[in-house]
Each structure stands twice: as C-alpha cells, then as structure tokens.
Structure 1
Amino acid sequence: MRRRLSPTERFVWAAGEALPVNFALVARIRGRTTPNLLCEALSAARRRHPLLGARIGDPGRWQAWLTTRGTPEPQLRVVRATAGSRGASADGDEGAQGAGGAEGWTRVLEEELQRRFDTEAGPLARFVMVDHGDAFDLVAIYHHLVADGLSACFVLRDILRYLTAPEPLPVVRPLVAPPADDLLPGPRARLSDLRTVARQMREGGRPSRTGGQLAARTWSLAAWETSALVTRCRAEGTTLQAALNTAFARALADLGSAAPATIAVPADLRRTLSPSPGEALGLYATTLLNTVDGAALSTYWETARDAYADIRRRLRLEELLPFVRVYRLLPFLPRATVSKALWRSESEQARFDLSLSTMRPGIPSRYGPLCLEAVHCLAHTSLSGAPLITAIRKDGRLFFGAVSTDGQRTAELCAHAMSHLRQAVTAALWPSPSGGR
C-alpha cells in the first residue's frame, strides 16, 4: 500500500510532531498463550489490516506518503507480572491496584502512552503482553494517524480469533478503506466551514494545567449496575453518553468549577461516510463540543435530556462535516507551521474541561479456550491537562479508562461522577460507591 496522506491524516501527522497522539486499548484475557503464538497472530492481523504495518514515507514540508513498504512487523514486548501487579478482577478498579506492582498494566500504559512512534521507520502500532500465567493483559498502542478506538477493538477481536484458530489460517483479503476525507459528501472546503469551527472553538477555552505527571486509571461497573443505568436512560428519554456527560459536569461543579462544563465528545463517522469503511482499521472519527451546566437547578435527568438534544443536533451531517472538511485547507500551510501552532494553542489553553467518549464495539468474549474479561481504552492526545475519559459498553458492562496529568484531581472527578450517576439511577437499589468505582 502506498498513497498520499489525506488532509486529516496530514493534520494528525503534524500534530504528532508537537503533541502526544497515542491511544491504547488494553484487554484482560483469561487463558494461556505464548509470545510466539501471539506474534503469529499479530502477523496474521497485519495481513488483514495493512495499516498495522504502515509508516510515513518520503516526508516533506508539504506532503508525505503512507506506505507499508519496508515496515517491520509490529513490536511485541513481554512483561512478566510480579506479585501485586495484577490488579483487581474485572469488577474492581484495576488501575489503582495495578499500579502497586512493579509491572502492572497501569505502569505499562503510562510508559507506552508517552513513548512516541518513529513515524518514518514504523510501524505505527505496538503491543505489550503482561503475562500472569493463567491470564494475560494485551496492551495495544496506536498512533491516532492509523486507528481510532472502535477499529482498534476490531483488531483485538481478529488477534484473538487468529490466536485460537484450530488450523493454519487461510489467506485473508486485506481489509482496507479510503481515508475519511475521501468518503465525505461534498469534495471542497468552504469558508463557512472555517466559521463553524471557529465558533465552536470560541465556546471552549480554559487555562491549561500542564507539567504534571501522566496518570492512567481504569475501573468498571458491574452488569447489574450498567443494566439499571441503561434502563433508566431509556425511561428518561436520553442516552448513556448524555447521562455520563451530566455526571461529569456535576462532578466538575463539585470540585469548584463555576462555568458550565465544556465536554469533547468524539463522534464515529462510519454511519455518515459513503461507502462505510466498516471494520477497516483507520481514523474515522471527529470531535464535537457539548456544553453541560452541572450547577443548574434543573434535575439530573432534565439536564441529561438537554445534553442529549445538544449532542443530537451537533451529530447532524451538516454540523459534523465542517470539522473534517476544514482540514482540506491545511495543505496550504507547511507541516512545521501547523505543529508549532498546535503546540502553542495546547500550552496556553484547554479547548475543553474533559473529553468523554463512549463505544459499543459488539465483539465476542469467547475465543476457544480464551475469554475476554475486560477491555479499556485510554488516550493521550492533549498537553492541556484536561482528563480524557473513555467508556466501553461490552457484555452488559461499562469499562472506563481515564488519562490526565493531574492524577489526584482526576481520581476525585471520577469518584464524584460515579456517585452522581448512581444517585441518579436509584438511591434505594444502588449502594453508596466506594473506592472511586
């Protein structure tokens, strides 16, 4: 594969020269495997998803190529778990306990999210296996240029399928789709796109909290808790995303934020693009900003319904397209200019108070003798200090991940948010939270 970077990809490439643009998908798998078998599964997954073996070729001031030629196999680092590094079960707060061991997945995540990719040498994905003997954690780290959270889930599924294949795998047809830019209706950027983007940019803007140490944490809600939450959302005429936005907006108010919360909401473009990229690895997402007043006098569910209405409006095609089309104007700027502007912007102010993404990948849990018990997504794509939070809904449960450079404040924020969420669902049936869950 060899093609020019699309305008969006060029922007992400330029961003990666100045900012972190990594994210990780971490999975706990019950069952045994070996590093050799896992390497074979990674090679098979690369044949199906060529972007697992991609790099930047012929980089220039104005343009570059995305190529798979001469790229080595995805790296696999093996870590032997030590006593105390395993963390809690999938029901608990893995992040807090995992950090206590010498090689828990939390330490691996914090190391890997900060380690930049060599974009010219490639590949732009790497993997770590934390071996517990009767179970293992698979940590997949991606440069955002080649993947989003949902497509990383599809790759995880394919790796586990290949890992448990009962016989040699047949030759697979590569699963490749054009970049999002090429699948958008309307080929040209417009001046109105710039006005739309500028208007939403003005809605955010908070002082940056830079300089802290990166901290990652993961936690989850039990199946009965998640079921109660989803049922209540449906009864109240809102969505899980809006309910979570409300919980975190109220948590920010608890911690002293007087202004309404500005929440970045990553939006999947797969249903918008034509034809849909389906399960191809790639970046098929954009971000919208949702404003939620956590200190409003309205009830929790009234605020959640307002948040849902705002998100639904911003998810309309005419609202989403400007945020992708506007990148088509950037080829007129040198890459270094874009990188410096992004670094300066991130250093001076945060566009949002927090980022909150939800995913429902719909991938199986059973793969022969292996069982996928938990899956978390964690991103490190900002220098502003704003926490980045992701919730994956799988097998009737919610799995959370959070990354920030202010670990203590983020831990308090998450604890307050989960408390508001539980109280809003039902105080009688849902016990008081403990341990930040």
Structure 2
Amino acid sequence: MKPRRLSPTERLLWAAGEKLPVNGALVGRIRGRTTPAQLREALSAARTHHPLLAVRVAASGPWRARFTTDGVPDPELRIVRADSPQSWTAILEEELKRPFDTATGPLTRFVVVESDGSFDLVAICHHLVIDGLSVSFVLRDLLRALADPTSFTTSVPPAVTVPADDLLPTRRADPLDLLRVARMLRGAGRTPRPSGQLAYAAWSMDAAETSSVLTRCRTEGATLQGLLCAAFARAHADLGHPSPVGIAVAADLRRILAAPPGETLGLYATSFLIPVDGLARHDLWTVARSSTTDIRDRLRPEQLLPLVRVNRLLRILPRKTLSALLRRSELKRTLFDVSLSNVRVPIPVDYGPLRVESLYLAAHTSVSGAPLVCVAGFDGQLFLSVTSTDGPHATELCTRAMSHLRAAVRQGTSRAR
C-alpha cells in the first residue's frame, strides 16, 4: 500500500485514540473446523486484499500523519480454548479495553476461541480502519480464504482505500457546517455516570421473532431503528432519567458518496444526535414513527455532509491539543444517553465446510457510562449487544427496552387502517 495522509476525520479519530477508547469488534460463531496454520495463511491473504488490516500511523509533526504498511507485521492471532459456550464474551471485554499502538501497528488483532465442532472468530480493530459494515467484509474474506485458499488468492485483487472525506460530493468545509453541528448539540449533554470496568452483554432474536418485529414495523410505518429509539427512550424514562433522551444514531455514508468505496476496509460512517420523548404520553409506535421521520430527515445528504466536512475545520489544532480537548469533553459530559448502531450484514452464510451461525458487533468508544448498543441483521435474525463502563445500568436499560419492544410488537395495531 502506498503511504497516504490521514483524512481530517481519520486524524480526529487518531487524536481521540490517544486519550480515549476507539475500538470496534466483530464476533462470528463458525460451525466447522480449522487449524492455526490455516487461519494464519487466511489472515495473510486477507491482508493482501485489505491493506488497512496491517498499517501504522507515521506522524511527521503535530499536524501531519499518514498511513503506511512499512515495517508492519501481520495482525496478532491468538488461539484459546473455550471453557463455556460464552467464553468469547469475557475475551471480547478484555480485548476491547486493550489500546492499539498506532505508531507501530497493526491496528487489528484476532482471537479464535475453539470448541468442539465450532469456533468463535473475534476481530478487534481500531475505528480508524473499520466501521460495522466493512469489518464484516473481513470476516467474509477470511472465511473465503479458509474455504478455498487458491481461488481467493488469485481472484481477489487488493482493495483501494480512499477515505470518506475524499469521496464527498462537496468536500470544502463551510463555517455554516460548524453552526449546523452546534445546533444539533445544543442542549445535549449529561453528567457522565460513574465509570467502572467495561462490561459487555449480547442477546439475539431468532428468525421467527425477527420476522414479527420487521413485519410489525412495516405495518406501523416505522423502521427498526425508529422502534429501537422509542424503546430505549421509554426504558430511560422508566429508570428516572429526564426526557427527551439524546440518542446517537450511526449513519452509513456510502450511499451519499460521489464514488462508492466498494467492499473495502475503512471508516465510512458518522453519527448524529436526535432527541426522543421517553415519557409514556404517547403510544410507543407513535414515538417510533416520529423517530423514523427524524432519522430519515437526518439521513439526507445536506444533513450528513456537514458532519464530515466540519472535521476539516479542526486541522488547525495540533494533535495533542485535539486529544486533550476530546478527553476533557468526555469527562465533563456525555453528549448522548445511548448510542444505537444498526447494520444489515450482507455476507454469505456458507463457505464450503464452514457456516456462520451468529454474528455480533461491538464498540468501545466512551468512558462516560453511556451504553453503546450494536444491532446486526444477519441471516434473517437480529444479533444485539451492549458495551458500557456502567454495566448494571446498561443491563437494566437493555432489559427494559427489549420488554417495551416486544410488548409493542404483541399489542394490537395502533395505526388507523
């Protein structure tokens, strides 16, 4: 890979990672068998296709930095034996807490948790090089290389990694971008919850329940993301938190870029904040429809572009200054009460003798105690997880939110026909 400068957004993430956690992860449970040697060969082949799997950040002063593969070894691969079906959750908690050394790289690592007849493949990555969708392409390509090494090596060319900032239809920053972002954040912020050990929990909905939820959403004129926002806002109110609830919604930038990046590794996502009424003054589906409308409005290009372009205005700040400001802001207040990421994972289920049975996403990007909820739609099922430095609160919040969601799906329709 030819060295290239970090984009403004990548530079912001790099600065944040000097003082804050910025890790993301994917866990796939794979039915079938493999060997450590086969896994290392597959990882080496995947690295050839996805150069960002093994890069480092070479800094040249307080303002400039670039990605390079020079002197970067293959990503770490650790093999452990499972002592229970959920051994991977404890491993994931520990791995999410481990920072990456961006100066030496690589910015990804992997753990394989072996059990009888299956294994859990845990991919941990710095958010500089992945988002929830692109990391799923890494899982797909690793499994392709395991299933048919020769075909993968000869048929899959190296991907070209172009940052999202360089693919925007209008790249030039406008001072009005800063004003738009400031308006979105106006009134946002809560005192951070007491920070403790990082906690992770995961659960799922089978195909039948997932189908019921999605069918009901269509009937009610809401999206799954809108329903999740309503359910978590209601759960926050149950726990005595003030309303409206600030929910950070992850947004995929690929559909608004001037040139699609394809199925390459990289960060092609941003997030925006919406207020959601958590009080029981309205039917949950009414709130879900309102949230759906708000989300659709925020997903318009004219709303998303400023969220990325504004990072260009931060280039005047030295990296250490930017890192300190981000850390101070995080410790002073949290801008959101809960973060919701919802990704439909468009990869195959079967790879020769291997089959993906479950797929979970995770993120650790906050020490404020605010829960980060990740939802992966895969093979007709929903796989959900939460990370937080306030585990008991996050667990109770998710339990109540799922209770509200399931109750809303069971009840009679609230929409006039």
TM-score range, shorter chain: over 0.9
Q: What TM-score does the superposition give when structure 1 sets the normalisation length?
A: 0.92
SS at match of 2:254: coil
Percent identical: 58
Shift of 1:167: 4.2
Answering whether residue 213 of structure 2 is matched by residue 229 of structure 1, we say: yes
Residue aligning to 2:37: 36
> Match of 1:137, as an amino acid?
D
1:296 Cα deviation after fit = 4.2
> Given that residues 54 and 75 in structure 2 are in contact (C-alpha distance below 8 angstroms), is that contact kept between their aligned partners in structure 1?
yes
Structure 1 residue 297: Cα displacement: 1.3
| Number of matched pairs | 410
User: Could you tell me which residue of structure 1 aligns to residue 415 of structure 2?
Assistant: none
> 1:166 Cα deviation (Å)?
6.5
Correspondence for 1:21: 22
Does the CA contact (< 8 Å) of 1:176 and 1:281 recur in 2?
no
Q: How does 1:110-129 map to 2 (within 5 A)?
A: 110-129=93-112
Deviations 1:154-199, CA, capped at 9 Å, x for gaps: 1111111111116464433111231011011222111101111111
CA apart distance, 1:331: 1.4
The whole-number CA distance in structure 1 between the counterparts of 2:149 and 2:141 is 14
Once the two structures are superposed, what CA deviation does each residue of 1:319-358 show, in whole Å capped at 9, x if it has no partner? 1111100111111110001000000000010000000010
SS at match of 2:255: coil
Is the 2:145–2:153 Cα contact (8 Å) retained in structure 1?
no
The residue identity in structure 2 corresponding to 1:257 is H
Is the counterpart of residue 158 in structure 1 residue 159 in structure 2? no
Q: Does 1:143 align with 2:126?
A: yes
RMSD: 1.2
Taking the TM superposition and a 5 Å limit, the aligned residue runs for 1:285-300 are 285-300=269-284
Counterpart for residue 386 of structure 2: 402
Question: Within the alignment, does 1:325 sit opposite 2:326 as a pair?
Answer: no
Note the C-alpha offset of 1:121: 0.8
Of 225, 240, 246, which aligns to 1:256? 240
2:133 counterpart SS class: helix
Aligned ranges for residues 102-251 of structure 1 at < 5 Å? 104-165=87-148, 167=150, 169-171=152-154, 172-251=156-235
Partner residue in 1 for 2:325 = 341
Residue identity opposite 1:300 in structure 2: L
User: Residues 71, 289 of structure 1: CA spacing in aligned structure 2 closer, same or farther, 3 A cutoff?
Assistant: same
| Residue of structure 2 equivalent to 1:284 | 268
User: Per the alignment, in what secondary structure is the counterpart of residue 280 of structure 1?
Assistant: coil
Q: Tell me what 1:63 maps to.
A: 64
Task: State the distance in 2 between where 1:165 and 1:279 align.
Answer: 19
CA-to-aligned-CA distance 1:121-164 (integer Å, 9 cap, x gap): 11100000001131100000000001111000011111111111
Q: Secondary structure at the match of 2:222?
A: coil
- Over residues 39-93 of structure 1, what are the superposed CA-to-partner deviations in whole Å (9 max), with x where a residue is unaligned? 11111111111100111113421111111111100110111112xx21xxxxxxx
Counting only pairs closer than 5 Å after superposition, residues 81-96 of structure 1 correspond to structure 2 as 81-82=82-83, 85-86=84-85
Question: Any idea what SS the aligned residue of 2:14 has?
Answer: helix
Tell me how far apart the structure 2 counterparts of residues 317 and 394 of structure 1 sit (CA, whole Å): 27
**C-alpha distance 67-250 of structure 1, shift in aligned 2 (>3 A):** same
Q: Which runs of structure 1 show a deviation greater than 3 angstroms over 4 or more consecutive aligned residues? A: 166-172
SS at match of 2:383: strand
Is structure 2 residue 358 aligned with structure 1 residue 374? yes
Deviates more, 1:254-263 or 1:117-126: 254-263
Aligned equivalent of 1:94: none
CA contact (8 A) 1:110 1:216 kept: yes
Q: Is the 1:356–1:388 Cα contact (8 Å) retained in structure 2?
A: yes
Residues 164 and 257, structure 2, Cα contact 8 Å, conserved in 1 = yes
The 2-side partners of 1:48 and 1:313 are apart by: 36
**More deviation in 202-211 or 180-189?**
202-211
Whole-Å separation in 2 of the counterparts to 1:263 and 1:169 = 41
Q: Give the match's secondary structure for 1:207.
A: coil
Q: SS of 1:149's equivalent?
A: coil
Q: Amino acid of the residue matched to residue 115 of structure 2? A: H
Q: Following the alignment from structure 2 to structure 1, what is the Cα–Cα distance between the partners of residues 168 and 187?
A: 26
**Structure 2 stretches lacking a partner, 5+ long:** 413-417
